[in-house]
Amino acid sequence: MTDRAEIDRRCSRVRDALARNDLDAAIVAGNEYTGFEGAVTYLSGFVIVHRYAYVLVPREGEPSIVFPSEARYVGEHETTWIDEQVFVDRPGDWLRDRIESSGWSRVGVYGLDYIMAVRDYRQLEGCSAELSGWDVEFDHARAVKSPEEIESVRDSMRINAEGFWIFLEGYEVGKTESEILAPCEKLFVDEGCGRLTMDMVLVGENGRATPEFRIASSTRRIQQGDMCLPSLEVAGPGGHWVEVSRAVHAGGEPSVHARAMEEAYHEYFEIAKKELKAGATAHDVHRAVARGFVDRGAALGHVTGHSIGMTMIEYPKIGEGVETVLEEGMVFSMHPHAISPDGDDCLYMQDTWLVTADGGEPLADVPLRIFDASEGRP
């Protein structure tokens, strides 16, 4: 249960951001698409089971939570701490009317590009207020996690790390990818993650994994020499997402490129402990941790890292030209997607990090290396 001090802290940070951006209010969107429910949960306590919802946060006054009428019985509405719960046929109509009756001239929208239902946008685009995308600013407002949130992050990581050990112990030649991954998913559901899991694999033959993410196959069986990287992404009962991934191979030796990229990962890990600290910029961290991969000729095929919280992917990202200054209490998923010069080999090993005053704290107690399938947990 989220206490009143934490609720007030979250609203205060959002209202401070509204003031900085000279906005009268914010519309925060969420829907059941995996990983995009969390903004509504963050501001209301409500978990979207089906359909979608909005939280309206005025710069002055109390927030409202707005549902389409068909969502009345597809969630536990008593879990929200917001008093005004609105059920309407078209939330966009209600939001437009509230904006205009309040005399607001500028409103920020989190989820304008990816999350908001098209039918609601159609109703809102003609309103008298100026609407602007507000994803970056909203994410920056919630990027610094409270001690309560960090405990939730640690609990999610406890569950996710256990999932990796189960994957490793079950990895055998002759099993399908889905047979190996299924016990992990059972653990996640048993531990209270519900639907907040997104598990994928990168897999390949002869000691290498190809760069493309895949849904675990129920027909392809692991062969001798295969390399598989499970990308385990879950949010525990507290709703905070974490990510962990390691490479596992079955017999033989990893490819020459894989071993070179593993060396770069070891360098990145030690650098992140020093550089992922309050006062550093996201750009500088990216440059520091990417150097070992670039020096070995690897391409980086995916963002180096990103803030992570009650939404799976949040701003700021750790990347080129991102001058956001990191603050103590931020949490980042770091996962340099290292791809060999020929484009046929990759390593993608994820960790979730806590930013402290002195450096990065890795939250998964899982050694960063390529595992042999014959190993068990330490």
Mean pLDDT, rounded, for 284-289: 96
3-state secondary structure 261-297: HHHHHHHHHHHHHHHCECCCEHHHHHHHHHHHHHHCC
Using pLDDT thresholds of 50, 70 and 90, give the confidence band for residue 109: very high
Which residues make Cβ contacts (< 8 Å) with residue 190, sequence separation at least 6?
Answer: none
Instruction: Give percent of the chain with pLDDT exceeding 90.
Output: 90
Q: For the segment 67-86, what is each residue's pLDDT rounded down to a tens digit?
A: 999 988 888 999 999 999 99
Q: For the segment 217-266, what is each residue's pLDDT rounded down to a tens digit?
A: 999 999 999 999 999 999 999 999 999 999 999 988 999 999 999 999 99
Which pLDDT score is estimated for 283? 97
Asked whether the predicted pLDDT for residue 331 surpasses 90, the reply is yes
pTM for the whole thing?
0.94
- List, edge to edge, every strand of the sheet that includes 25-31: 84-88, 64-68, 52-58, 25-31, 106-110, 130-133
Asked whether the predicted pLDDT for residue 185 surpasses 90, the reply is yes
Mean pLDDT, rounded, for 78-107: 97
Using pLDDT thresholds of 50, 70 and 90, give the confidence band for residue 302: confident
Which pLDDT score is estimated for 126? 85
Distance CA 206, CA 239 (A): 38
Average pLDDT, the chain: 95
Q: For the segment 357-375, what is each residue's pLDDT rounded down to a tens digit?
A: 999 999 999 999 999 998 8
Which pLDDT score is estimated for 35? 78
Which pLDDT score is estimated for 75? 87
Which pLDDT score is estimated for 375? 83
CA distances from 89 to 50, 80, 86 (A): 15, 20, 10
| Angle subtended at Cα 364 by Cα 282 and Cα 325, rounded to the nearest 5 degrees | 15
Q: For residue 286, how many C-alpha atoms fall within 13 Å in the half-sphere facing its CB? A: 20
Asked whether the predicted pLDDT for residue 150 surpasses 80, the reply is yes
Instruction: Give percent of the chain with pLDDT exceeding 70.
Output: 100
Give the bridge partners for 92, in sequence order: none
Which pLDDT score is estimated for 158? 98
Instruction: State whether the Cα torsion 132-136-138-140 is positive or negative.
Output: negative
3-state secondary structure 128-164: CCEEEECHHHHHHHHCECCHHHHHHHHHHHHHHHHHH
Q: How buried is residue 51: exposed, middle or buried, by Cβ count under 10 Å (0-12/13-18/19+)?
A: middle
SS3 15: helix
SS3 57: strand
Which residues make Cβ contacts (< 8 Å) with residue 135, sequence separation at least 6?
Answer: 110, 111, 112, 113, 315
Helices 4-20 + 135-142 axis angle, to 10 = 140
Q: What is the CA radius of gyration of the chain?
A: 22
Which pLDDT score is estimated for 120? 95
Distance CA 46, CA 79 (A): 6
Count Cβ atoms below 10 Å from residue 113 Cβ, excluding itself. Answer: 9
Count Cβ atoms below 10 Å from residue 11 Cβ, excluding itself. Answer: 15
CA distances from 247 to 12, 157, 254 (A): 42, 18, 10
Using pLDDT thresholds of 50, 70 and 90, give the confidence band for residue 54: very high
The DSSP 8-state label assigned to residue 51 in this structure reads: S
**Six-digit token string for 136:** 């970056």
Asked whether the predicted pLDDT for residue 34 surpasses 80, the reply is no
Using pLDDT thresholds of 50, 70 and 90, give the confidence band for residue 119: very high
Which pLDDT score is estimated for 170? 95
DSSP 90-116: -HHHHHHHHHHHHT--EEEEETTTTTS
Give the bridge partners for 332, in sequence order: 307, 353
Phi, psi at 21, each rounded to 5°: -95, 5
* 52-114-203-334 Cα dihedral, nearest 10 degrees: -100
Which pLDDT score is estimated for 84? 97
Q: Which domains does the chain have, with CATH numbers?
A: 4-142 (3.40.350.10), 147-372 (3.90.230.10)
